[in-house]
Amino acid sequence: MEQNKYFSVTAFNTLIKSKIDGDEELHNVYVKGEISNWKSYNSGFFFDLVDEKKSVIPCILWSDNYLYLPFEPKNGDEVIALGSVSVYVGRGRYNFTVKTLEKFGQGAALLALEALKKKLQAEGLFDISHKKPIPEFPKSIGLIVGDKSAAEADLIKNISRRWPLCEILVFPSLVQGKDAPKELLKALRRAETTEIDILIIARGGGSNEDLSAFNDEALTRELYACTIPCISAVGHEIDTTLIDYVSDLRVSTPTGAAEAATPDQQEIRAVLLGAEDSLNTAMKNLLSKKRDQLNSLSARPFFKNPSSNYAKAKEEVQQLSKRLEMSLGHLVEMSSNQVRSLSSRLEALNPRNVISRGYSMTTDERGNIVTSIKQIAEGDTLKSVLKDGTITSKVTSKE
Render 283-330 in DSSP notation, one character per residue. HHHHHHHHHHHHHHHHTSHHHH-TTHHHHHHHHHHHHHHHHHHHHHHH
Other Cβ atoms less than 10 A from the Cβ of 98: the count is: 25
Would you state the pLDDT for residue 275?
93
Is residue 215 within 8 Å of residue 96, measured between CB atoms?
Answer: no
Q: What is the band of 25 on the pLDDT scale with cuts at 50, 70, 90?
A: confident
Q: What is the mean pLDDT of residues 200-219?
A: 87
- Percent of the chain's residues with pLDDT above 70: 92
Q: Which CATH number fits domain 3-107: 3.40.50.300, 2.40.50.140, 3.30.1360.10, 2.40.37.10?
A: 2.40.50.140
Confidence of residue 344 (pLDDT cuts 50, 70, 90): confident
pLDDT, residue 216, reads 94
Q: Which pLDDT band, with edges at 50, 70 and 90, does 296 fall under?
A: confident
Q: Both ends of the chain: CA-CA distance in Å?
A: 159
Between 356 and 28, the more confident residue is 28
- Average pLDDT score, the chain: 87
Of 136, 116, 112, which is closest to residue 125 (Cα–Cα)?
A: 116
Domain 138-263 grouped into CATH 1.25.40.80: no
Give the model confidence (pLDDT) of 114-154 as tens digits. Answer: 789 999 999 999 999 999 999 999 999 999 999 999 999 99
DSSP state of 369: B
Domain ranges of the chain: 3-107, 138-263, 304-345, 352-394
Indicate whether 108 pLDDT > 70: no
**Range with the largest mean pLDDT of 75-79, 233-237, 339-343, 384-388:** 75-79
Q: Are 33 and 47 in contact (CB under 8 A)?
A: no
- Please determine, for residue 68, whether its predicted confidence score (pLDDT) is greater than 60: yes
Residue 353 has pLDDT above 80, yes or no: no
- Split at pLDDT 50, 70, 90, the class of 105 is low
pLDDT at 234 over 60: yes
Residue 19 C-beta-side C-alpha neighbours within 13 Å: 7
26 class by beta-carbon count within 10 Å (0-12 exposed, 13-18 middle, 19+ buried): middle
